[in-house]
Amino acid sequence: MAAVSLSGKRVLLVVSGGIAAYKALELIRLLRRQGCGVTCVLTDNGGQFVTPLSLQALSESKVYTDLFSLTDESEMGHIQLSRAADLLVVAPATANILAKMAGGMADDLASTVLLATDKPVLVAPAMNVRMWLHPATQANMATLKQRGVQVVEPNEGAMACNEFGPGRLAEPPEIVAAIEALLAPGAKPLAGRHALVTSGPTHEPIDPVRYIANRSSGKQGHAIAAALAELGARVTLVAGPVSVPDPRGVTVRHVETAAEMLDACQSALPVDVAVFAAAVADWRVEQAATGKIKKQPGAAPPSLALTPNPDILATIAAAGPRRPRLVVGFAAETDDLMANAQGKLKRKNADWIVANDVSPETGIMGGAENAVHIVSAAGIETWPRLAKDDVARRLAKRIADALG
């Protein structure tokens, strides 16, 4: 599991009503394994899916359910309860409780505790896809984020209601990772490590106004650079032309062509880990025109002679004293994903290949989510479809574990 300890930390876990409430039991187990104390608040609707006894057995703490319990109020009032923990976590967070939080309502114990607290709050939404995408829910989420509430975005997939889309509760390890990031910012498993990340497309000029490019947005590569920095790494990000902002705490070198990207990568060496997430153009024009190529009436289209671009992944991964200890490549494919990724792993001398299907119907290229497979000599590890930030955090933790 995660390398960051939560020993001595305390979480107040609010379990609201939804089929995903059963995952709260696994979340408690993982937090307790990390040495984290857990106290639960169970809503009336949450009690339709999990029992106070189950939560108490796993958390080894009293479970609170009633705002007007004389016993609970005499032992620990709801105000003290809201402030006794280091972090309040709502998992699952239904559309109802998110609306209450956004509206400042306090009509039960859970909503009252959330309104009365002076501690940070993390929510993990879970609901039907239409409820999640409804403008009211999205407006509530925007309000909560603006107020500083942290969010573990829901995953996309099949739901208990037989619909498919975003709205599934994030997996417990993802929620634990978000909790660690908030409660253990000083625990940096990659402190002292230097990481190199490439991101975005390259633009290979045809003439001064035209170029060969692709649809890469740079969102995944930039998210990986940010996630590695969060774990303490000194990160050099070599970015092609993108519109996403530079991540904080990262040294960024902006380039345009594959040749410039290779030069920037080589000048960043030595590094402990290199993650090649950029979608580098395979070819460039052999001789780019110095002036704009004009269309001539009746003339045939110009012929473009192409030549291969340098192979950045293979160059850096080649055996030698400057090879990074861990080299991670990406394989964005539309056909034969696993076969192509396994071939790339061997051909490029990489340690891992992060393979993803970028067929147009997936919406991954340029989108906000990714569905990846980690291909290595040990086999294939398939991850669920996640927000690209969550893929980045999960990959960064995997890198931290591998580097020890």
Write down the pLDDT at residue 133: 93
Give the separation between CA 234 and CA 190, rounded to whole angstroms. Answer: 8
- Which CATH number is correct for 194-290+297-403, 3.40.50.10300, 3.40.640.10, 1.10.3720.10, 3.40.50.300? 3.40.50.10300
Write down the pLDDT at residue 74: 60
- Assess whether the region 10-183 and the region 194-290+297-403 belong to the same CATH fold: yes
Q: Are 261 and 196 in contact (CB under 8 A)?
A: no
pLDDT in tens for each of the 404 residues of the chain? 334 468 899 999 999 998 999 999 999 999 998 899 999 999 999 999 999 999 999 999 999 998 877 566 665 567 888 888 999 999 999 999 999 999 999 999 999 999 999 999 999 999 999 999 999 999 999 999 999 999 988 887 777 777 888 898 988 888 987 898 788 766 678 988 999 999 999 999 999 999 999 999 999 999 999 999 888 899 999 999 999 989 878 899 999 999 999 999 999 999 999 999 999 999 999 999 999 999 889 889 889 999 999 999 999 999 899 999 999 999 999 999 999 999 999 999 999 999 999 898 888 887 889 999 999 999 999 999 999 999 999 999 999 999 98
- Which CATH number is correct for 10-183, 3.40.50.1950, 3.40.50.300, 1.25.40.10, 3.40.228.10? 3.40.50.1950
Q: Where are the domains of the chain?
A: 10-183, 194-290+297-403
Give the phi and the psi of residue 132 in degrees, each rounded to 5: -65, -40
Q: Which two tokens stand for residue 316?
A: 């850096």
Write down the pLDDT at residue 283: 96
Cβ neighbours of 267 (radius 10 Å): 10
Q: Which two tokens stand for residue 186?
A: 């000083």
Instruction: Please tell me the total number of residues recorded for the chain in this structure.
Output: 404
Write down the pLDDT at residue 248: 79
155: nearest Cα among 143, 144, 169: 169
Residues labelled catalytic: 161
268: nearest Cα among 306, 289, 238, 232: 238
Contacts of 176 (CB under 8 A, 6+ apart): 1, 2, 27, 30, 31, 34
Give the separation between CA 388 and CA 364, rounded to whole angstroms. Answer: 9
3-state secondary structure 310-351: CCHHHHHHCCCCCCCCEEEEEEEECCCHHHHHHHHHHHHCCC
Give the separation between CA 278 and CA 198, rounded to whole angstroms. Answer: 5
Tell me the whole-structure pTM to 2 decimals: 0.58
What's the DSSP call for residue 201?
B
DSSP string, 119-176: S-EEEEE---HHHHHSHHHHHHHHHHHHTT-EE-PPEEEE-TTS-EEEEEPPPHHHHH
Which H/E stretch holds residue 89? Answer: strand 87-93
